[in-house]
Amino acid sequence: MFDYTPFYRSSIGFDRLFRLLDEAQNLEPQSYPPYNIERVGENEYRITMAVAGFGEKDLAIESKGNALTVTGKKADKVETAGEVLHQGIANRSFERRFQLADYVEVTGAELANGLLHVSLKREVPEALKPRQIAIASGSKPKQIEAKAA
């Protein structure tokens, strides 16, 4: 366990980051369903989840704030033609949560060959992107007049 108290004394506005780090330390590892997180471009990502046996109607994807939740709920038991001697294909429901950075949005999802692909993209608003400030030469800086109350 790591103590973030010294950082709280000298930093402002990082409380969300420290809370995420603290929560990550306390999470128990989940192994179902297996997934990959890939960077597919400068600001593009893809989550691929192995969801064999789940159809589009069994899956739900919700993006709320900085959280992405993927849920899988199987319909009632599927009848088989014979007796099942071994069941190695998981048939259980799941809920997988991901924390998204600021300005990361879900751009789409696709289910193909038992894999769910969720595409994400980070789009920083123009107002927050770096910009060049022109420097004027030979002119006086503007004076700001203080108004009396």
Q: Is residue 26 part of a domain?
A: yes
- pTM beyond 0.75: no
Higher-scoring residue by pLDDT: 140, 19: 19
Does one domain contain both 23 and 93? no
Asked whether residue 47 carries a pLDDT value surpassing 70, the answer given is: yes
Confirm if 100 and 134 have CB atoms less than 8 A apart.
no
Report how far residue 22's alpha carbon sits from residue 15's, in angstroms, rounded to the nearest whole number. Answer: 10
Confirm if 58 and 75 have CB atoms less than 8 A apart.
yes
Q: Is residue 136 part of a domain?
A: no
Does one domain contain both 6 and 50? no
Asked whether residue 4 carries a pLDDT value surpassing 60, the answer given is: yes
Domain span at 12: 1-30
Does one domain contain both 50 and 104? yes
Does one domain contain both 61 and 109? yes
pLDDT in tens, 49-64: 999 888 899 999 999 9
Does one domain contain both 2 and 56? no
Does one domain contain both 26 and 47? no
